[in-house]
Amino acid sequence: MARRLESWTTPGFMGREGGTDELDRALDRNVSRAVPPIVLALAAYYLLLSAFHMGVLGSEGHGVLAWATGGSALVLLLARGGLHLRPSLAGRGHLAGALVAVLVLANAYLEIVLTGEPWSTMYALLVLLGVGLFFLDWGWFALVAVAALAGWFLAASPHLPDREWFHFGLSLLMATGLSAIVLHLRRENRVRLEELRMKERVRQIELESALDQTERARKGGEEARRAMETAIVQVKESEERFRRLAEATFEGVVFYRDGKILDANPRATQYFGIAVSQMVGDPVLNLLAHEDREGARDGLLAPLGPGDRVRAEQMEVSARRYDGSLFQVELSVVDSLYQGHTARVMVVRDVTNQKRAERMLRRALEEAEANALAKNTFLANMSHELRTPLNSVIGFANILLKKQGGSLPLRELDFLRRIQSNGEHLLSLIEDILDLSKMDAQRLEVVREPVDLEALAGEVVRTLDLQARRKGLELTVDVPPDLSLTMADHRRLRQVLLNLVGNAVKFTAEGQVAIRVITDPDRGRPLRIEVEDTGIGIPAGELDEIFTPFHQVDQSRARAFGGTGLGLTISRSLCDLMGFQLGARSIEGQGSLFIVDLEPDLLPSPGPSVRGEGTASLAQGAERGSS
């Protein structure tokens, strides 16, 4: 026993060579436990990625990537099998983690070299973030980080100093710094934990030694035995008290027995504004507000049931400082030992700020709900009050045009047509604002039903054909035969298509506007609807903003074409409600392509820009438009 204790208390323990080696081994064991599941998860991921690349072998570089990812999955599976058959190999956690990281980085940089896409840097960025969450050793972290940065520079060097590549390189450096910070914090916490565990082992050995000496002393005399038993009781009491105080470091802790305060920690004295010496002997209920004392009496003074250490319920009461001021607290009660006798420990947590924040949040929520209700009520009333006279104006204008149009002078006839046109425009604006308000309040509902897209496209064309012919535009529909029905809200999907095709006609001076339905070639199921025009297009810097309410690309041109800037916003919201996705691609001066993904989870939209994220060339759409 003495030799065992000496081995733990030599100068090399905790901070010198012997302690450092033990600490490093403990850290490596922590890392080793995470290696097998990570290896298995990466193997599954690379199998799926290899299958994906095999599915697109016609594309450049995907054959090599398919072999590379498949080979990586095989290597990882073999490594996982080796770890299972030879558990001793798992003791080299940092080495295994570094090898896995290098394998993942090699795949990432191979994809960069083959595809030339800067976004492939994200794989290396994720690896750098991962090593900060995985490694606990600075040397291995530095090795992987240097390999990652050097590998990226070599793979990306043909593309530098392209601005987008520079952005991803800077992101990689920032990820390295963030990962280093995470590693530092994790290592500090883990080192402290391992040091505490080592110290606990020393304490256990010391206690075993003390018990051994006590046993030998008992044989030497009864007086020595009684003295040693007293020492053991005191050690256990001290350890129990220290442990419970450590559990409540950030809360106030008050020891009491028979309702009288025995002791308190410094945080409790800060809470109640009095020294421990002045608290001792006072009733514990005096720490509470007068109105809460009776309600808390049973919780603080009633005996705990057999086997209970902590009360299940928590009490929220008002506590009283010794200057008379009140503050909100949460209380819990545990049994403990104090000076060899059973006592109670009351744990106090100040929740004043939390309750204040809850009240402010509740008040803000009530105000927001009241404002939303007032806005919705106002819009509903105003839309009704405005639509009623507008319908009358539009109706009488239509009657006059039908019955008296041939007998009116040209100037009065033009006035009448303007009344009709402006009235319909104003009514459309009111409807758009009402729809937007319903969406904002989450009160707009959609009814999913089988929809014939060919018939729906025909309705849209018949509605807008006259407007297109007046501008000399060709309005075409391309719908494959034997098209199956799709589940959607017929009225809302028609509204979306009318907005998209109407915009295309409005902003196209010459050429054509095409409506296409793209299907799954195997089952004939509709996958997406495309609306393409040869109009003025959208500037690259504006493509992200076109779905913002009331946003119009060019205010000077918008005034010439008319509109409120709500059509695309409403269309995207309606698509979201139906489970679809609305995106756009455009080249200024050549035209635009709007895409409604009917099954976004199964097939992404073609091209690099989906749902307005960034700008891209109309490569595929432009070829169709010029054919």
Q: Which pLDDT value is given to residue 311?
A: 52
Residues 511 and 598 in one domain: yes
Q: Does residue 208 lie in a domain region?
A: no
Q: Which two tokens stand for residue 225?
A: 């035995």
Range of the domain at 396: 356-440
List the one residue out of 509, 546, 516, 547 whose CA is nearest residue 531.
516
Q: Does residue 219 lie in a domain region?
A: no
CATH number for the domain harbouring residue 411 = 1.10.287
Residues 385 and 511 in one domain: no
CB 136 within 8 A of CB 187: yes
User: With 0-12 CB in 10 A as exposed, 13-18 as middle and 19+ as buried, what is 115?
Assistant: middle
The Cα 55–Cα 374 span in angstroms is 55
pLDDT digits (tens, 9 = 90+) for 386-433: 777 877 787 877 887 777 656 777 787 777 777 876 777 677 777 777
The Cα 500–Cα 530 span in angstroms is 9
Residues 504 and 575 in one domain: yes
Q: Which two tokens stand for residue 222?
A: 């009864």
CB 169 within 8 A of CB 121: yes
Residues 430 and 456 in one domain: no
Residues 32 and 180 in one domain: yes
Residues 135 and 66 in one domain: yes
Q: Does residue 213 lie in a domain region?
A: no
CA distances from 439 to 23, 372, 426, 574, 581 (A): 59, 12, 20, 9, 16
Longest dimension (CA), the chain: 134
Residues 290 and 257 in one domain: yes
The Cα 470–Cα 258 span in angstroms is 96
* The residue type at 557: R
Residues 404 and 464 in one domain: no
Expressed in percent and rounded to 5, the helix, strand and coil fractions of the chain are: 65, 15, 25
Q: Does residue 225 lie in a domain region?
A: no
Q: Which two tokens stand for residue 196?
A: 């505490």
List the one residue out of 518, 544, 523, 546 whose CA is nearest residue 606.
518
The Cα 404–Cα 413 span in angstroms is 9
Q: Which pLDDT value is given to residue 373?
A: 76
CA distances from 463 to 455, 476, 572 (A): 12, 13, 21
Q: Does residue 389 lie in a domain region?
A: yes
Residues 177 and 90 in one domain: yes
| Centroid of chain to Cα 383 | 38
Q: Does residue 226 lie in a domain region?
A: no
- To the nearest 10 degrees (0 to 180), the angle between helices 35-55 and 62-85 is 150
The Cα 495–Cα 460 span in angstroms is 9
Residues 423 and 466 in one domain: no
Measure the CA dihedral 209/215/218/224, to 10°. Answer: 20
As for how many domains the chain has, the answer is 4
Last-in-domain residue among 310, 332, 350: 350
- To the nearest 10 degrees (0 to 180), the angle between helices 163-220 and 222-247 is 160
DSSP one-letter code for 399: H
Residues 457 and 604 in one domain: yes
Residues 503 and 428 in one domain: no
Last-in-domain residue among 151, 166, 194: 194
Q: Which pLDDT value is given to residue 602?
A: 63
Q: Does residue 238 lie in a domain region?
A: no
Paired with 310 in beta bridges are 334
Q: Which two tokens stand for residue 299?
A: 């919780």
CB 488 within 8 A of CB 450: no
Q: Which residues of the chain have pLDDT under 50?
A: 1-18, 90, 246-247, 310, 312, 558-560, 603-627
Last-in-domain residue among 422, 440, 458: 440
CATH number for the domain harbouring residue 296 = 3.30.450.20
Q: Does residue 202 lie in a domain region?
A: no
